[in-house]
Amino acid sequence: MKMTLSEIAQAVGAIIPEQQLSKYQQTIITNVAIDSRHAQPGSLFVPLSGQQDGHDFVANAKTTGAVATFWQTGHPNRPTDLLVVDVDDPLAAMQGLAKYYLMKVNPKVIAVTGSNGKTTTKDMIAAILSTQNRTAKTQGNHNNGIGVPLTILDMATNTEVLVVELGMDHPGQLTFLSKMVEPDVAVITMIGEAHIEFFGTRDKIADAKMEITNGMKEDGKLVINGDEPLLTSRAEKLQPLTFGAQNHNYLYKTSMKLGAEYSGFTVNRWPDLNFRIPMMGEFNIMNALAALTVGRIFHVVPDKMVTALTEFQPTENRNQWVKSDSGAMILSDVYNSNPTAVHKILQSFAKVAGTGHHIAVLGDMLELGEKSAELHAGLASDLLPEQIDEVYLYGPEMKALYAVLQESYTPEQLHYYSESEQPQLIKDLQNNLHYRDLILLKASNGMHFNLVLKGLM
């Protein structure tokens, strides 16, 4: 971004002191920071309130380069050594500034949501569209009311296409985010059980995901998984473009070849082309189909889409193979977890050829509410001793799965650890892994399996 501080103040409805007007007009803001440690020359610091009050860190932000700050009206100790934009609510002001900047740059916006696969799909779409357009995208999974405006404000002034990920865990959140970004294309990857604690049923989750269309432009296009009746029934009036495994879809796979580190497939629209993605699993082929559908909307040359998918780099810890200290190969998928995602990755992991043991290390899936025990126990259908040799379970919710698996696994094959025993889990894995083994790490982010991964590296 690049705006004068006076333009920013005007965009958020702030009043500039007359005697300082020239300073605000001459001060150029090139980025926005919400963490004082990440401020740099040209930063506008936005003090957010959470476990700590961001106003307490304005002085730190100035030290690292910030030239101005938002400040909540009436908050004590207003700075005198830094240019200040007084606002009623710093977060709301940042969101309003993001909407203003988005309208100013005016890129085409592709918004992506879904219970699973939205980050990978976002990355694939950006890879495809960047072959023909100046493209910006959500970094990591900055997909909420803070991350989305930061994504917008981080894009270059010459951006032609913005691919933005939208997340939600309560009704109404996607409506708010959709109206902020006003997508030209909205994509829903699938409906699973993520956040079912807050919604109760998959039907209500589908209702919430459809909120992504509430801010969609009048001539916008909706792309959905056409194999999901909960979506097709709700989206019928919007005439969506569908993707999936079944041949009634607008875009569907006609063949596939699955490997440990890649997946190959063909599709109906370009029967002579062989697509390949550097990720395992049919579920990732579905993500690629969603991305290809968006590519077709933007008239990307098919050969360029083949190259883009072959070379795209997935966000870290999404179905990522890494080598442990022992030489064993680890399939790291430790950012997030829900029942649909675990079932799918277990099915794919079991099919990976290897001469050592297949070992599944699973941590709790969070935010499942009253159905948590049932949904954890249900994972047993994809944990069979003839396919997965050993299972390590971690966390209180995994007790339900542990009880079921005791019927099919021996004590030597099945291991359980309470939430206080993560160091012991890491130690046991370090001692028991061999260089030919294949290990799956999968848990919700709150279970801190990034520490387990680090312990094995």
Alpha helix ranges (H) inside 130-166 = 147-154
Of 226, 224, 163, 170, give the one whose Cα is nearest residue 194: 170
| Triad 428, 429, 435: Cα angle to 5° | 135
Q: Rounded distance, CA 313 to CA 442, Å?
A: 20
> Is 115 known to sit in a ligand binding site?
yes
> Is 410 known to sit in a ligand binding site?
no
Q: Which two tokens stand for residue 245?
A: 């495994």
> Is 255 known to sit in a ligand binding site?
no
Of 239, 180, 174, give the one whose Cα is nearest residue 205: 174
Contact 189, 121 (CB under 8 A): yes
> Is 64 known to sit in a ligand binding site?
no
Q: Rounded distance, CA 399 to CA 77, Å?
A: 51
Q: Which residue has the tokens 């969603």?
A: 290
Of 101, 114, 108, 102, give the one whose Cα is nearest residue 129: 108
> Is 117 known to sit in a ligand binding site?
yes
Q: Which two tokens stand for residue 96?
A: 């309003």
Q: Rounded distance, CA 65 to CA 94, Å?
A: 19
> Is 31 known to sit in a ligand binding site?
no
> Is 455 known to sit in a ligand binding site?
no
Alpha helix ranges (H) inside 298-383 = 302-311, 339-350, 372-377
Distance of CA 248 to the CA centre of its chain: 28
396-429 in b/e burial notation, b at 16+ Cβ within 10 A? ebbebbbebbeeebeeebbbbbeeeebeebbeeb
Known binding-site residue numbers: 114-120
Q: Please report, in range form, the residues annotated as the binding site for ATP.
A: 114-120
